[in-house]
A and B are shown apart, each in its own frame.
Chain A
Amino acid sequence: MEQAAPDPERLWQPAPLEPLSHPDAGLESMVGEETKGARDEGPGDGTMTENNFSLKKIEISVSEAEKRTGRNAMNMQETYTAYLIETRSVEHNDGQSVLTDSLWRRYSEFELLRNYLLVYYPHIVVPPLPEKRAEFVWHKLSADNMDPDFVERRRIGLENFLLRVASHPILCRDKIFYLFLTQEGNWKETVNETGFQLKADSRLKALNATFRVKNPDKRFIELKHYSDELQSVISHLLRVRARVADRLYGVYKVHGNYGRVFSEWSAIEKEMGDGLQSAGHHMDVYASSIDDILEDEEHYADQLKEYLFYAEALRAVCRKHELMQYDLEMAAQDLASKKQQCEELATGTVRTFSLKGMTTKLFGQETPEQREARIKMLEEQIKEGEQQLKSKNLEGREFVRNAWADIERFKEQKNHDLKEALISYAVMQISMCKKAIWDVLKDCAVLFFFCAPSGRKKS
């Protein structure tokens, strides 16, 4: 309510794209011009070609992570991790790729990018970032953000985020996103210059506040319920999975203790010695195999986590719709009350309370001129209000249409991805079983002569 009504054009369309003066220029030269151009213009009047970015095949990768130290805003020393983003364009003829851009970004810059996208594309289910802090950890997993395993998984998550954005039909055309990949210095300033933080509706952050909407859209209500359920069930799944992983780790590692004991025992055994040694070795191999198994499972957990966070993005769209609906209803209500006031003033009947009315009563009647003036003002306000209501209605319908299109796209993506994830879980189990069988059989050679008749079987 407090913000200026955002420019509809700005909101519902991405930063408009206009062809450059040299439409035939190759990508590299365009990049050069873009970087120059970006400094002079704000994103609203961006002059990016429509063609090259989304239609030419590009490959994005977050290929490295590096620990860095620097000074933060308060001039205090801090350690953080920087990630190398490389962009390659694929020449359609020979399929070879050429490195076009490479720069370093840290997690907070990714966050900035995402927050910007959330403001400018409220009807889009914006891809989520990998988790800020390690959650659903089991005892072996570190909760430390600087832990190399965590950093590695974060690197993959960030790459995934960029790929999601780049493959989204609308988001991929955004100028700020393009600059994120291509303009190392000054990017933060550029983003901030868009003033998106001011445009952000702070109410979106107040998740618990309820806004009573009289005519809610049933589809959005259902979607909101779905996103809540999805979030709850995936959280539960991840929690139990973490506990299962913990237990399984325990089982495998305790087996490792056999290894040591068998080795020590083999020293006193003459007949069984070799057998015991190998059995001990087998136990050691078994115990150490759990590390790889669980590392693979962590990737599976990350896939689930992505959709856990996607559920939040889904809910944000519903929320935005709810707020829009609320604003619409408030505006309609306001208009209706103004109309009523106007009518009362014109006809002289007082049905609604107004401050002016009270003060008139207390301090004396107003003059007819004063009343005329007020009526005139109200009429102007009503005209304005009607315009606003009309445009709000239009906005609302556009929003619903666009949002629903993206939601359908998201649903298909989700079904496809989660099915793949579940299949990959099955594949992991299969390979784990095969490996375990193979390990036992390999050491069966051992078990065979471990168990071979070395004398009478019994007395």
Chain B
Amino acid sequence: MEGECRASQARSWGLPAGGAGGDSPGGDAPLPGSISSSSLLQAEVLDLDEDEDDLEVFSKDASLMDMNSFSPLMPTSPLSMINQVKFEDEPDLKDLFITVDEPESHVTTIETFITYRIITKTSRGEFDSSEFEVRRRYQDFLWLKEKLEEAHPTLIIPPLPEKFIVKGMVERFNDDFIETRRKALHKFLNRIADHPTLTFNEDFKIFLTAQASEFSSHKKQGPGLLSRMGQSVRAVALSMRGVKSRPEEFMEMNNFIEIFSQKINLIDKISQRIYKEEREYLDEMKEYGPIHILWSASEEDLADTLKSVASCIDKCCKATEKRMSGFSEALLPVVHEYVLYSEMLMLTEEIGKLEDKVECANNALKADWERWKQNMQNDIKSAFTNMAEENILYYEQCLATWESFLTSQTDLHLEEASEDKL
């Protein structure tokens, strides 16, 4: 516990929420409390001092400077403007790369289950090798999560995808379900890898590297009971019973969590609904084009025009499909993960006070909380930027399709007109 406290102290920074005391541990880059539009467009925002890490990050992305010349007239293409502010992971800082893929079905006499292949690439010294490949099943992920909660009761552990099948599915192992779960598990492991403290957790390392037999014997050690205890410590830290310092911040956090949870759930529902409506729209549109082809069969002069219209509609359908897949790749999983996060954060169990741990726990939790909030904002922003980008791409494609139809018709018209003159 102590070790973790120190680690999080060294690596945390805080974005002083406007108004709240800027009392976070560690040296913070003095960023402006609240962002106003004018300050963003000024280079000063990007001019960070102290933290070397910050400088490294921003100096690499010189294109951000272009925001100075932003004007509504859009001389550059819309997509490129959005791309300039898209977040890219900085490969230089990461030293642990994890992928989750290749779901495989296993049948035994007792049960059927799915395992996922996990590939880890790392340059860290504490790892025996630079590449690892293991297979894990959902149960193993659950084990890992419990161990992390047990070991770090004050930290926000990333959520796992739902254990049970969501309503509406008949088969347990339906392809969409497996794919969605795989993506979420991938996210889960990467979140842990990106967390300043969790990334060094021993169970995590074993999860990523141990072969089957070594792993199962390791799992048998150590009680899982502590996870319940761990949760209660966290719950205490969250509910703030009996802690002397800074009640206001924690009330604020609670308040935030409650409203955030409400909002993210709504956004999740809305997003799912949009996807459903778009799917139904696409189904109807697919029928629309062919009717024009049918019509063209009865016509002579109009046949070509009708066929062109049909082809335009089909192209737009394809563009819609592309946009929808982008939506389901980028937005839906992100929003859903935060729904799960918020469910977890809402947990408040009144179990008891463990005051001796609380002081250190408060700081660690607060730091982790700030980090979590930061990530959340970035992720949400990214997700909606992606959505905007997909939308622009979609409309640009449709625009091009119909414009070329129009030119072909006017060309034809001029052709016919000149023919008539002859």
Contact = CB atoms under 8 A, between A and B. Distances in A.
B381 A456 contact: no
B384 to A, nearest CB: 6
Given A233-B294, A279-B384, A452-B35, A241 B87 contact: no
A233 B302 contact: no
A19 interface: no
B54 A270 contact: no
Which bracket fits the contact residues of B? 35 or more
B395 A268 contact: no
A244 B284 contact: yes
B273 to A, nearest CB: 5
B129 interface: no
Given A261-B270, A437-B396, A237 B402 contact: no
A139 interface: no
Contacts of B381: 272, 275, 450-451
Contacts of B302: 415, 418-419
Nearest to B78: A441
Nearest to B31: A455
Contacts of A271: 15, 17-18, 34-35, 377
B10 interface: no
Interface in A352-376: none
A343 B336 CA distance: 97
Interface in B58-90: 58, 64, 67, 70, 72, 74, 78, 81-82, 85-87, 89-90
B267 interface: yes
Contact of B291 (A226, A236, A273, A442): A236
Contact of A456 (B33, B74, B287, B374): B374
Contact of A454 (B15, B37, B74): B15
Interface stretch (A74-82, A160-168, A249-257): A249-257
Contacts, number: 204
Nearest to B374: A455
A269 B380 CA distance: 12
B399 interface: yes
Contact of A251 (B277, B306, B403): B277
Contacts of A350: none
A444 B298 contact: no
Nearest to A269: B377
B85 A244 contact: no
A458 B89 contact: yes
Contacts of B298: 226, 229-230, 233
Interface stretch (B170-178, B240-248, B256-264): B256-264
A274 B377 CA distance: 13
B354 interface: no
A131 interface: no
Contact of B378 (A264, A422, A447, A458): A458
Instruction: Determine chain A's interface SS by DSSP, over half rule.
Output: helix
B85 to A, nearest CB: 5
B120 to A, nearest CB: 19
A233 B295 contact: yes
Nearest to A226: B298
A427 interface: yes
B211 interface: no
Interface stretch (A84-92, A315-323, A428-436): A428-436
Interface stretch (B223-231, B358-366, B385-393): B385-393
A219 B398 CA distance: 42
Contact of B406 (A229, A250, A426): A426
Contact of B375 (A425, A451, A459): A459
A211 interface: no
Interface in B320-352: none
B57 interface: yes
Contacts of A330: none
A422 B267 contact: no
A251 B281 contact: yes
A20 interface: no
Interface of B: 11, 13, 15, 17-19, 31, 33-37, 40-41, 45-46, 53-54, 57-58, 64, 67, 70, 72, 74, 78, 81-82, 85-87, 89-90, 194-196, 255-256, 259-260, 263, 266-267, 270, 273-274, 277-278, 280-281, 284-285, 287-288, 291-292, 294-295, 298-299, 301-302, 305-306, 309, 312, 316, 371, 374-375, 377-378, 380-382, 384-385, 388, 391-392, 395-396, 398-399, 402-403, 405-406, 409
Q: Which 4 A-B residue pairings sit nearest by Cβ, starting from the closest?
A: A247-B281, A433-B399, A265-B263, A415-B301
